[in-house]
A and B are shown apart, each in its own frame.
Chain A
Amino acid sequence: MNALEVHDLWVRVGDKLILRGVDLALEPGQVHALMGPNGSGKSTLALALAGHPEYQVVKGRAFLEGRDLLALPPYERARAGLFVAFQYPPEVEGVKLREFLRLACGERGKGFCEFQRIFPQALARLKMEDFRDRELNVGFSGGEKKRAELLQLYMLRPKVALLDEPDSGVDVDAMRLIAEVIKEMAAAGTAVLIITHYPRLLEYVPPEKVFVLLDGRIVDHDGPELAWRIGEAGFEVVRK
C-alpha cells in the first residue's frame, strides 16, 4: 500500500485557485522529490495536506495508509503519522522546544520515559545539544530552524514526511547532516517527500522518484535523472 495517495487535488487560497488537480503517490521507505519553480504551489500542497485553514480543498481526496486524511482536523492528521517540515517555521515565544516535543511525542504514543531517552539522542544526531532549553524557533537562524524541523521529524517518526525546502538557507555541513537524517528516516520506513526548487540536496539524497509541479499540476515524473536535467537546463525541460 502507498503511504500517501493524493487524487485530483484542487486547492484555493482566498479567491485564488492554486492547485488544479494534483495526483501523487508516496511509497513507504522511499525518498521522493517534488520540484517546481517559485510560486508553482509546492508549499500549498504541503500545507493543504497538513490541514491549514487558509488552504481550502475544493476537490479531490487524500489517503494516509488508506485513511481519509482530509476528513481529519490538523492534529489528527499528525497523530495519524503525517509530518510537514515548514518552509517558514514560526517562532513561538514562551514555549520551550523540550516541552513542546514532549507533548507532541505523547500524542504519537511515546511516553515520558521514551521521550527522556530519545530526546538527547535526537539533539546529538542533529548537533543541537545547545538548543535543549531554547524557546521553539525563537531567535534561530534560517539554517537552525531547518535543523530544528528535522529534529522534530527525527523524534516523531512519522509515516509520511513532507519536507518543504529543508535545504534553503542551510550551509554545506548542515546540508550533509540533513541528507543523512533523511536517509536514516527513509531506511526506517518513512515515506519522504523532499520539496525543493534546486537539485543540490538531492545530490546527497538521490530520490527514487521526482515529481514536477507547474501551474498547480504535476506535469512530469521520473527517476532522479529528471532532477539533474532540471538542474542543468531549468524548468524549461518540462514546460513543453
Chain B
Amino acid sequence: MKKHGARLSKDFVEQLSWEKNEPAWMREHRLHCLEIFEKLPMPRFGPDLSELDLGDLTYYARPVEPVQSWDELPEELRRTFQALGLPEAEQKALAGLGAQVDSEEVYRSLLEELRAKGVIFTSMEKAVREFPWIQDYFMKIVPPEDNKFAALHGAVWSGGTFIWIPEGVEVEIPLQAYYRMQTEGVGQFEHTLIIAERGSSVHYIEGCSAPRYSRMSLHSGMVEIYAKEEARVRFTTIQNWSKNVYNLNNKRAWAYAGASVDWVSGSLGSKVTMLYPTTVLLGKGARTENLSFTFAQEGMWLDTGARAIHRAPDTTSRLVSRSVVQGRAKSVFRGTVYVAPGARGAKAHVECSTLLLSPEARTETIPILNAENDEVELGHEATVGRVSQEQLFYLMSRGLDESQALSLIVNGFVSPILKEIPLEYAVELRRLLEMSFERAIA
C-alpha cells in the first residue's frame, strides 16, 4: 500500500482490507459502511465543518515501522515520546501501553502478570484476525447508520486497541494508549473495543497529540465498551490535538446489570471537537459518570456533551462538565438524559459550569432531559462565570503576572474534576493549562 496520498474510494477500502489480511466479514463491513457514508449527510448541528475537505485527506499513513523497544524508534519520534513521558509512565504507572503513529501501532507492551491472568491487550487488527467472535461486538454499539463519521470510521478504520478482561479479573493500574498524528493532512481512525467480563474492572487512558500544520487533519476514532454484569470500566481521554485537527469521535458504552462505566475527558486542543461519550444503562442498577473538562482557546470550537440512556430500573447517571473559554472561542455542552418507560427508580444529575476568561468567549449549555416514567429523580444545574478585570488586577497587584493569575483562577475552577483524574495526569493537565496561558499571553 502507498504510504501517502491514499484517497477515499471503494478500491482504497478493499486494498486496505487486503493489506490488513482481514477476514471476509470485515471486508464486507467496510464496504457496507462506505456505502452508508456516501448516503448520509454531514452533521446538522454544532460546529462549522465546511472547511473540512474529506476529499483532501490522506486516509492511510504509516511513516514508522513497529518496534519492540523505544530505542529502536526514529530519533525524533523517540524524543517526542520521551518528552511526553511515555517510557517513564510505562515503567512506573501503567499495566500496559500502546503507541500509534498515524494509521498503525508502533509499540505495545503488557505486564506479564496480566497476560498470565488471561487479559488481552492487543492491536485491533490482530484481534480481528485472531478472534472470529469479535464480529458480534464490532460496531454493534455504534452502527454505521448512526452518523456520517461513524460510517466513515467503519470503512477506513485502522489501528486502535482491543481489550478483554476475563471474568472477575481486576486490573489495578491503568492501561494506556497514545495516539500521535505525524503526517500532514492525515486522517486517523483508530478503533478501541473494550470487553470487561462479569465482575472485572479496568481503567484505560488515552492521550493524543500532533504537531501543528497549516493543512487540516481529521481524527475520527471510535470507542465501544461492553461492561458486563457488575464490571467496572473507567475510560480517560486527555486530548491535546494541535489547532489544525478536526476531532470528531464516537464513544459509547453498554452497561449491564450492576456495572459501572465512567468517562473522564479532558479536551484542550483541536480546531473543532465533537465528542459526546454515551452510556446505555441496560441492566438493573447500572451506573455511569461522565466528567468532562474542556479548555477552548482562540479560534477553537469545542462541542462536547454526555449522554445517559436509562433502559433499566434503578440506574443512575451523573454528567458533570467544567469548561474554560479564552479568547474568541466557543464551548458547547450537550447533556442528554433519556429515561425509558421501564426504567423506574432512575436517577440522573446534569451539572455544567463554564468560566469565561474574555469578553469574546462564547458558551452554550444544551440540556435535554426526557423521562418516560414518573418514578425518576432528575436534576440539572448550569452556571456561567466570568473572570473580571478587577479580579485579575487584584491578583496582579500582589505580584502574580497575568498567566499566574489566570492559571490560579482556572486551577481553582477545574480542581473538582482534576481530583477524579489519576494524579500524574492531573499534574500533566495543570502543566498544559499553564503552558497555554503563557502562550496565549506571550
Bound Cα distance A93, B414 (Å): 11
Please tell me if the beta carbons of B400 and A104 are within 8 angstroms of each other in the complex: yes
Please tell me if the beta carbons of B401 and A75 are within 8 angstroms of each other in the complex: yes
Bound Cα distance A91, B399 (Å): 17
Most buried by A among B388, B396, B397, B400: B397
Kindly state whether residue B404 has any CB partner on chain A within 8 Å. yes
Please tell me if the beta carbons of B393 and A92 are within 8 angstroms of each other in the complex: no
Q: List 9 A-B contacts (CB under 8 A).
A: A51-B396, A74-B397, A75-B401, A91-B391, A92-B394, A94-B413, A95-B412, A100-B395, A108-B399
> Contacting A156 at CB < 8 Å: which of B389, B396, B398?
B398
Kindly state whether residue B9 has any CB partner on chain A within 8 Å. no
Bound Cα distance A95, B95 (Å): 36
**Chain B neighbourhood of A104, CB < 8 A:** 398-400
In the complex formed, the residue of B with least CB distance to A108 is: B399
CB distance from A74 to the nearest CB of B (A): 4
Please tell me if the beta carbons of B397 and A89 are within 8 angstroms of each other in the complex: no
Please tell me if the beta carbons of B408 and A99 are within 8 angstroms of each other in the complex: yes
CB 8 Å contact bits of B327-352 with A (1 = contact, 0 = none): 00000000000000000000000000
CB distance from B45 to the nearest CB of A (A): 31
> Contacting B393 at CB < 8 Å: which of A53, A96, A107?
A53
Bound Cα distance A52, B402 (Å): 13
Kindly state whether residue A86 has any CB partner on chain B within 8 Å. yes
Please tell me if the beta carbons of B409 and A95 are within 8 angstroms of each other in the complex: yes
State whether A103 and B400 are in contact (beta carbons under 8 Å apart), knowing that A53-B393, A74-B393, A86-B394 are contacts in the complex. Answer: yes
Please tell me if the beta carbons of A92 and B399 are within 8 angstroms of each other in the complex: no
Most buried by B among A83, A94, A108: A94
Bound Cα distance A196, B229 (Å): 70
Please tell me if the beta carbons of B409 and A78 are within 8 angstroms of each other in the complex: no
**Chain A neighbourhood of B385, CB < 8 A:** 93
State whether A75 and B412 are in contact (beta carbons under 8 Å apart), knowing that A90-B391, A92-B391, A93-B385 are contacts in the complex. Answer: no
Kindly state whether residue A33 has any CB partner on chain B within 8 Å. no
Kindly state whether residue A135 has any CB partner on chain B within 8 Å. yes
User: Which residues of A (31-87) have their CB < 8 Å from a CB of B?
Assistant: 50-54, 73-75, 77-79, 83-84, 86
In the complex formed, the residue of A with least CB distance to B398 is: A104
CB distance from B80 to the nearest CB of A (A): 31
CB 8 Å contact bits of B384-427 with A (1 = contact, 0 = none): 01001111011111111110100011011101000000000000
Q: Which 10 A-B pairs have the closest CB atoms?
A: A94-B412, A107-B399, A78-B399, A104-B398, A74-B396, A94-B413, A90-B390, A95-B412, A75-B396, A75-B401
**Chain A neighbourhood of B395, CB < 8 A:** 92, 95, 100
Interface size class of A (residues with CB under 8 A): 20 to 34
Q: Which residues of B contact A (CB under 8 A)?
A: 385, 388-391, 393-402, 404, 408-409, 411-413, 415
Kindly state whether residue A152 has any CB partner on chain B within 8 Å. yes
B-side binding surface: helix, strand, loop or mixed? helix
User: Which residues of A (90-143) have their CB < 8 Å from a CB of B?
Assistant: 90-96, 99-100, 103-104, 107-108, 135
Bound Cα distance A135, B415 (Å): 13
In the complex formed, the residue of B with least CB distance to A99 is: B408
**Chain A neighbourhood of B397, CB < 8 A:** 50-52, 74-75, 77-78, 84, 86
Bound Cα distance A75, B397 (Å): 5
In the complex formed, the residue of B with least CB distance to A101 is: B398
**Chain B neighbourhood of A52, CB < 8 A:** 393, 397
Please tell me if the beta carbons of A135 and B412 are within 8 angstroms of each other in the complex: yes
Please tell me if the beta carbons of A100 and B396 are within 8 angstroms of each other in the complex: no
Please tell me if the beta carbons of B408 and A100 are within 8 angstroms of each other in the complex: yes
In the complex formed, the residue of A with least CB distance to B404 is: A103
Please tell me if the beta carbons of A152 and B393 are within 8 angstroms of each other in the complex: no
Please tell me if the beta carbons of B412 and A90 are within 8 angstroms of each other in the complex: no
Please tell me if the beta carbons of A90 and B399 are within 8 angstroms of each other in the complex: no
Please tell me if the beta carbons of A107 and B389 are within 8 angstroms of each other in the complex: no
Bound Cα distance A91, B397 (Å): 14
Please tell me if the beta carbons of B398 and A94 are within 8 angstroms of each other in the complex: no
Please tell me if the beta carbons of B412 and A99 are within 8 angstroms of each other in the complex: yes
CB distance from B332 to the nearest CB of A (A): 22
CB distance from A231 to the nearest CB of B (A): 30
CB distance from B431 to the nearest CB of A (A): 16
Please tell me if the beta carbons of B408 and A78 are within 8 angstroms of each other in the complex: no
**Chain B neighbourhood of A90, CB < 8 A:** 388, 390-391, 394
State whether A75 and B394 are in contact (beta carbons under 8 Å apart), knowing that A90-B388, A94-B412 are contacts in the complex. Answer: no
**Chain A neighbourhood of B408, CB < 8 A:** 95, 99-100, 103
Q: What 16 additional pairs, Cβ within 8 angstroms, besides A74-B393, A90-B388, A156-B398?
A: A51-B397, A52-B397, A53-B389, A73-B396, A75-B401, A75-B402, A78-B399, A89-B394, A90-B391, A91-B391, A93-B385, A94-B411, A103-B399, A103-B400, A108-B399, A152-B398
